[in-house]
Structure formats: structure tokens, C-alpha cells
Chain A
Amino acid sequence: SQQGEEDPQALSIQEGENATMNCSYKTSINNLQWYRQNSGRGLVHLILIRSNEREKHSGRLRVTLDTSKKSSSLLITASRAADTASYFCATADSNYQLIWGAGTKLIIKP
């Protein structure tokens, strides 16, 4: 079963707008990671947020984590065409296996 569930499944926005996608998970976690996958660069790590952190930034990316709600969000500001990709959250289960959500497909329209 999936640990992380991304929402929405698909998102289409205009270039320059902000994109927000959410991830919910089921069990307690130590860390949560976000990855991006596109046809050009494959699956790439974006950011890791630890369970004792509430917010983390990396360039145009902002990730929040709410352990009480078992949810995380990824915000991409000032979107670009190159941000078109699928975005996945991944958390580790009790056996330290990374469990992945189904992903959010983001399309940036020019």
C-alpha cells in the first residue's frame, strides 16, 4: 500500500504562477522527501525535511511538514516551463523502506 498520497493528481498552471501540491502519509515518519521526474532528467531528489522541521526552502521550492496532520506540501514559486514534471513524496516505513506516492503531474503552460 502507498504511504504517501499526493494531491492533486494533476495540475495545470500558467508560467509564472505558483504551484502547490500536497502529500499525506499514514504512519509516523522520521523524514519526508520530495522528488521530481521528467523525461529529460529522470527522477531527481528535490528536498528532504526531517520530522522535527516545519518548513524548508531550496531556491524556488518551499516544503512544509505538519506531523500532527501527517501531511506535507511542496510550493513552487514563479513556475517555469522546465518545472513541467511529475512530483513524488517519499517516506520511510518502519523497515526503513522508502514508500512512494502516486505523484502529482504538473504542467506549466507558456
Chain B
Amino acid sequence: KAGVTQTPRYLIKTRGQQVTLSCSPISGHRSVSWYQQTPGQGLQFLFEYFSETQRNKGNFPGRFSGRQFSNSRSEMNVSTLELGDSALYLCASSLGFGSGGSYEQYFGPGTRLTVT
């Protein structure tokens, strides 16, 4: 099976702009989670989608949003970019959601976003 793919891999944006990142999960996986990884804060959970519905949301401002399509592909959007949004954005897919973390997550390579 093909792994989780994320596009683009690298992105440079200017403060105030918006950005859309894309994630294609492993075939058959219906849950997609998004994470932000920075050296200072580590891995921070953004949100999780399952069957096109947001099931969980982390503690991020409303500028961060996402959606999931019927084929389980997901996008996340960050509006009005700030310098602090510079990070590695990781997408992970799994067979199910929740259940106390019972499902192994398969991660994509990430999108490295730099905001200048």
C-alpha cells in the first residue's frame, strides 16, 4: 500500500498570507489527524477528521482550519499567517479515531512551512 502523502513538501509564505496543505491517507484509512511540530513546543495536535467530520480539535486559534473529503483526503488551511506558524506540519492516518489512542497512526513526511 502507498503511504501517507503530503503536498507540498516545502513552502515559504509571507506574514499575512494564507496557506493550504494537503494530505492523502493510506487507502482504507478514514481518520486523518494533523499535527504541528516545532523545536520549542514539540508535537501539538491540531485536529482529527473521520468520515468528513471533525471529531477532535486541539488548542489552536480559529486561523487553523481543516476539512476532509469523501475519499478521506484532507486539507488544512492557515489564514493570516504569523511568524510563529513556521513549523513542520504532519498528517497522520489511521483506521479509526479516538478509542483512547488504540489506533496506530501512520505519518506522512510533513510539509515544512516557513513564514517570513
State the A residues within 8 Å of B (CB): 2, 29-33, 35, 42-45, 48, 50, 88, 90-92, 95-103
Q: Among A35, A95, A100, A103, which residue has its beta carbon within 8 angstroms of that of B56?
A: A95
B42-A91 in contact (CB<8A): no
- Contact-size category for B: 20 to 34
7 interchain residue pairs of minimum CB distance? A30-B100, A92-B101, A96-B98, A100-B43, A43-B107, A45-B104, A92-B100
B110-A97 in contact (CB<8A): no
Nearest CB in chain A: distance from B57 CB, A: 9
Nearest CB in chain B: distance from A88 CB, A: 7
With both beta carbons as reference points, the residue of chain B lying nearest to A48 in the complex is identified as B104
Nearest CB in chain A: distance from B58 CB, A: 7
Chain A interface, >50% SS class: strand
A97-B48 in contact (CB<8A): yes
On chain A, the residues within 8 Å of B45 by CB distance are 97-100
On chain B, the residues within 8 Å of A103 by CB distance are 42
Nearest CB in chain A: distance from B108 CB, A: 7
Please, what's the 1-or-0 string for B95-116, where 1 marks a CB less than 8 Å from any CB in chain A? 0011111101111111000000
Given known contacts A96-B97, A101-B42, A42 and B102 CB-to-CB distance under 8 angstroms: no
